[in-house]
Amino acid sequence: MFSSRKKNAAGGESFEEAAASVTAESIGAEVASAVERPGEPGERFVIREEWAEATVESIFALIARADHPAWTLTDEETETVAPKMQVFLQAIADRYAPQMLAKFASKHAELFDLTAALGVLLWTKWRFVSKIKLVEFEEAKKRLEREAAEKAAASSAAADTLEAQAA
Rounded to the nearest whole angstrom, what is the least distance from the CB of residue 105 to another protein in the complex? Answer: 14
Of 58 and 106, the one with the shorter C-beta distance to another protein is 106
- CA–CA dist 14, 4 (Å, integer): 13
Of 1 and 166, the one with the shorter C-beta distance to another protein is 1
CA angle 25, 26, 29 (to 5 degrees): 80
Residue 104's Cα: distance from chain center in Å? 20
Rounded to the nearest whole angstrom, what is the least distance from the CB of residue 74 to another protein in the complex? Answer: 54
Rounded to the nearest whole angstrom, what is the least distance from the CB of residue 101 to another protein in the complex? Answer: 19
Could you tell me if 85 and 56 are in contact, meaning their C-beta atoms sit under 8 angstroms apart?
Answer: yes
Name the residues that contact another protein, by CB under 8 A. 1-10, 12-15, 17-19, 21-28, 31
Of 58 and 99, the one with the shorter C-beta distance to another protein is 99
According to DSSP, residue 47 is labeled P
